[in-house]
Amino acid sequence: MWFLIKEGISGFRTARMAILLSILAITISLFFNGIFFLTFNKINSVAGELKKEFVIQFFIDPAVKVNPEDLIEMLQAENVVESITYISPDSALKEMSKSLDIPLNFIIDKNPLPPTLNVLIKNRYVQEHFVNNFINKYTNSQEFIEIQYPQNKLALLEKYGMAVLFVLVFIGIAFLISSILLVIYTLKITIHSKQKFIVLTRLMGGTNFYIRFPFFVEALLEGTI
């Protein structure tokens, strides 16, 4: 066994060019697949952040005497809902005053803003199909004056998200195939450089394990490097 291990290590001395090509091929494969993984992870992270900000606004009709907590409990029962925030008319007026930089509470006599429920959708359900099904359940509900959501943003996520995913999958498959081919042809070069060792070992009655084990040791060291 120790002889076979030494024979595998000796390849680094007797076939330096072949070993160098093998290590280079593995390095290039890892490098490009690493770039693909990091790119995919970054795009996936950006898409996740955009989805985290996807909120549907349910404007409650002030004329309907309903407890907001009952509405929150009703909406929270939906699978697509992550969390719900209740915005009172006074809070909504303050937020509008901040955004416009105008003290609206001193300008207007009566607060026209209705109470609002900001419904945050779970990331995996931020898709047109799920969102439309969810909204359609409450479109004609008498408790709500209007339901608003960033429709254009959702359409862009659907359109460009699928396109980017398709391109990334195609690039990933191309990198994987090229990496496999690169390593295969490099291994063929390495085996060709050891042709004499293989022939002599077979002539001396060497088994497949006896011939292959040094290559395994050599490949293990190359991969580690």
Per-residue pLDDT of the chain (225 residues; tens, 9 = 90+): 666 666 666 666 666 677 777 778 778 878 888 888 888 888 777 777 777 778 888 988 887 788 888 888 888 888 888 888 888 877 766 766 665 555 555 455 566 678 888 898 888 888 888 888 888 888 888 888 888 888 777 777 777 777 777 787 888 788 778 777 777 777 777 677 677 777 777 777 767 777 777 777 777 777 777
198 CB-near residues (< 8 Å, 6+ apart): 191, 211
pTM: 0.55
Helix and strand numbers, DSSP H then E, in the chain:
9, 4
